[in-house]
Structure 1
Amino acid sequence: MSQLPSLGGLKSSYTPTQIRRNRLIFLGLVLVLVGMVAFYVLGPYDTKDDSATLKAGDCFQNIGTDKEAKTKKLDCTDPHADYKVLKMDEDGVVDTFSCSDVPGTTGSLTQSGPGKWFVVCFKENDEKG
């Protein structure tokens, strides 16, 4: 009976240097993947919303969209401070009722959440630098 020749498959013995190198390559790939996932999830976005902390006289920039506004509170002389708060109605639910009696109002922001409703009445900031 004759034996079949070996197919020359995988090397059965690796040197410690090769094993260490392979582990470092694998670890590097895992770290790159984890970094990409973290960047996607956390992102370079400024997701903090300062709407609940605004009060009359404060200025802000909308860093969200027109449909989903997110405010960033800024100094009124900041060139990015587009709006100035005229009234913060923490009991408000509907902007037309809360802002109808505030002279100079050009816009409003209504926020609702679990147990937290408020309306911010604002105008364009004419103090920005």
Structure 2
Amino acid sequence: MSQVPPQSGLNVSYTPAQIRRNRLILLGLVVVVAGLVAFSAFGPRDAKDQSAALKVGDCFENIGTNKAAKARKLDCADPHADYKVLKMDKNGIVDTFSCSDVPGTTGSLTETGPDDSFVVCFKENDEKGGR
């Protein structure tokens, strides 16, 4: 009679301790991922953005990007104060309507959201100190 050759492949058997350890590692990873998702969704927002606090005559620097602007309010003589607020429209949602009647406007910053919507009309700050 001939013998059947052993099947190739892995024959892995885990001890109960290894199974428990693997489950704990998996549970730990799930908790970490869930924590990161919760923090990104409900965590603190960028407190540096001072756009909503700007008033006419204030100067600011854009610390965000052109598509996602974030204003940092500065003294108008500060060399980093690139822009000066000409109008703050707390009820505005469309910059072309809010800023079209403001002479000297070279740009606008618009924030729309469920809690707060406004438009800031601004121009380049010609009072800033030299760099």
Shorter chain as normaliser: what TM range? 0.5 to 0.7
Opposite residue 84 of structure 1, the aligned amino acid is K
**How many pairs are equivalent?**
85
User: In structure 2, what is the equivalent of residue 84 of structure 1?
Assistant: 84
Do the aligned partners of 1:108 and 1:122 also contact (CA within 8 Å) in 2? Answer: yes
Shift of 1:47: 5.5
User: In structure 1, what is the equivalent of residue 112 of structure 2?
Assistant: 112
Shift of 1:112: 1.1
Opposite residue 50 of structure 1, the aligned amino acid is Q
Shift of 1:113: 1.6
Are positions 1:74 and 2:74 aligned together? Answer: yes
Do the aligned partners of 1:58 and 1:75 also contact (CA within 8 Å) in 2? Answer: yes
User: In structure 2, what is the equivalent of residue 51 of structure 1?
Assistant: 51
Opposite residue 95 of structure 1, the aligned amino acid is D
Shift of 1:115: 2.6
Cα offsets for 1:46-90 (capped at 9, x unmatched): 851000000100000000000000000000000000000000000
Opposite residue 124 of structure 2, the aligned amino acid is E
User: In structure 1, what is the equivalent of residue 64 of structure 2?
Assistant: 64
Shift of 1:124: 0.1
Flag structure 1 segments of 5+ consecutive residues without an equivalent. Answer: 1-40
Opposite residue 48 of structure 1, the aligned amino acid is K
Opposite residue 108 of structure 1, the aligned amino acid is S
Do the aligned partners of 1:110 and 1:119 also contact (CA within 8 Å) in 2? Answer: yes
Cα distance in 2 for partners of 1:82, 1:117 equals: 23
Cα offsets for 1:10-48 (capped at 9, x unmatched): xxxxxxxxxxxxxxxxxxxxxxxxxxxxxxx9xxxx851
TM-score with structure 1 setting the length: 0.63
Do the aligned partners of 1:47 and 1:70 also contact (CA within 8 Å) in 2? Answer: no
Flag structure 2 segments of 5+ consecutive residues without an equivalent. Answer: 1-39, 41-45
